Amino acid sequence: MGCVCFFNTAIAWGGGEKWHLDASSFLHGNGHQVLVVAHVKSVLLEKLKETDIPCISIEISNTSFLNPLKHIALRRALRKYTIDTIVMNLSRDIKIAGACAKAIGIKRIIYRRGSAIPIKNTFLNRYYFKYIITEVLANSLATKRTVLQRNPNLFPKEKIKVLYNGIDLSEKPREKSESLSKETGFTLINLGRLEVQKNQQFLIYLAKELKNRGLPIKTYIGGNGRLKEALQQKISELGVEDRVELAGFIEHPFDFISKGDVFVLPSLWEGFGYVLAEAALCKKPIVAFDVSSNPELVIHGKTGFLVKMNDLNDFADAVEKLYHNPSLSNQMAEKGLAHITQNFDRNKNLKEIEAYLLHGQY
């Protein structure tokens, strides 16, 4: 069996990078030949350096596929390994790594799709999906649907495989975790990058609505990002400084989530909501938008509530219902834990990934 190459040139750290690191680590630990190609300035590369996983660094941009010298250098680097399968992460990865893989005769050229955003029906996309990519690996049913949403003939549906991102079921919060807010006694928790996709501004409006309803509920938003200052300004503008706190970077997500009463997620889209699985493992009921893969992680009415995107009134109603019904909250928490445990076990999912990448098992 030849080498499996994981090609990911994202600089920041996210779910896709975690998947590439976990999958390569698992295969490498089981004695299989792997190679990871990462951006020279990436967090992924820094983490790889802490392991003995074979890796090489590369520096490419969105236009590197137009540079023939980049192609020559990459083909030369890949030829040093007997690669049977290459798994790519970004569209720019497809454009250069996919083309190079095709040129040197790599058999399986897989695009691992981790975002439930419709693929544009452009000439370049039609070309790469027809002549370069041999398979697509999606991280959720929602992501699979978006691959063909704008062009049902873009790629053979039967060659799009869904494999969920697993979560380590052994990860648990510390047993003793004090409430984040002794003043309110009821807290909402959110965790994610402070970016447009994560839509934390909605939570500030939610805090205002809950305050207007006379509910003593405080929201803690964990994470850093480009929108930190704008969010802080919005908190002041709406006069909810006593109801919303930006908690900054969270080193231990499970500890942070465990200190709240309800986990809330207003993301506009998710490929696979790791944080929803983490919240369920922390035995928290969830309120989120009915978008992307959220319904695959949250069972509406059983493990939490899913509401229409940006529907402030319905979202507030769901939170209020949990606030007034501790027994319902506890029931949802227990069912949520069971759902994640049964369907998203990291060890089980990694074995499925291994079988797929090494043997093409569908």
pLDDT of residue 31: 96
- pTM of the full structure: 0.82
- Backbone region of residue 172 per phi and psi (left: phi > 0; alpha: psi in -120 to 50; beta: other values): beta
Burial of 218 (0-12, 13-18, 19+ CB in 10 A): buried
Whether 225 and 294 share a structural domain: yes
CA of residue 306 relative to chain centroid, distance = 18
Whether 225 and 278 share a structural domain: yes
Q: Report the distance separating Cα 305 and Cα 161, nearest Å.
A: 28
Cβ-Cβ contacts under 8 Å for 33 (sequence gap 6 or more): 1, 2, 3, 4, 81, 82
- Find the radius of gyration of the CA atoms of the chain: 22
Distances from the Cα of 18 to the Cαs of 47, 71, 189, in angstroms? Answer: 10, 27, 22
Number of neighbours of residue 244 by Cβ within 10 angstroms: 25
Whether 199 and 144 share a structural domain: no
Decide if 263 is inside a domain.
yes
Domain that holds residue 104: 3-166+345-359
Whether 80 and 139 share a structural domain: yes
92: its two tokens: 């720019």
Strand order of the sheet with strand 3-8? 55-58, 34-39, 3-8, 83-88, 108-113, 135-138, 160-162
Q: What secondary structure, in 3-state letters, does 58-70 show?
A: ECCCCCHHHCHHH
Decide if 306 is inside a domain.
yes
pLDDT digits (tens, 9 = 90+) for 249-290: 998 999 999 999 999 999 999 888 889 999 999 999 999 999
Whether 101 and 20 share a structural domain: yes
Decide if 172 is inside a domain.
no
Considering its fold, how many domains does the chain have in total?
Answer: 2
Contact between residue 110 and residue 85 where contact means Cβ atoms under 8 Å apart: yes
Low-confidence ranges of the chain (pLDDT < 70): 172-184, 361-362
Q: Report the distance separating Cα 217 and Cα 243, nearest Å.
A: 7
Whether 256 and 197 share a structural domain: yes
Decide if 178 is inside a domain.
no
Decide if 182 is inside a domain.
no
Decide if 176 is inside a domain.
no
Contact between residue 55 and residue 48 where contact means Cβ atoms under 8 Å apart: yes
Whether 10 and 127 share a structural domain: yes
Whether 351 and 338 share a structural domain: no
pLDDT of residue 173: 67
Whether 215 and 287 share a structural domain: yes
Question: Would you give the DSSP letter of residue 133?
Answer: -
Decide if 299 is inside a domain.
yes
79: its two tokens: 């030829």
pLDDT of residue 6: 98
Whether 146 and 195 share a structural domain: no
Contact between residue 291 and residue 309 where contact means Cβ atoms under 8 Å apart: yes
Whether 90 and 156 share a structural domain: yes
Concatenating the DSSP letter of every residue in 12-60 gives S--HHHHHHHHHHHHHHHTT--EEEEEETT-HHHHHHTTS---EEEE--
Whether 117 and 191 share a structural domain: no
Q: Report the distance separating Cα 157 and Cα 136, nearest Å.
A: 9
Contact between residue 345 and residue 169 where contact means Cβ atoms under 8 Å apart: yes
Decide if 82 is inside a domain.
yes
Report the CATH number at residue 325. 3.40.50.2000
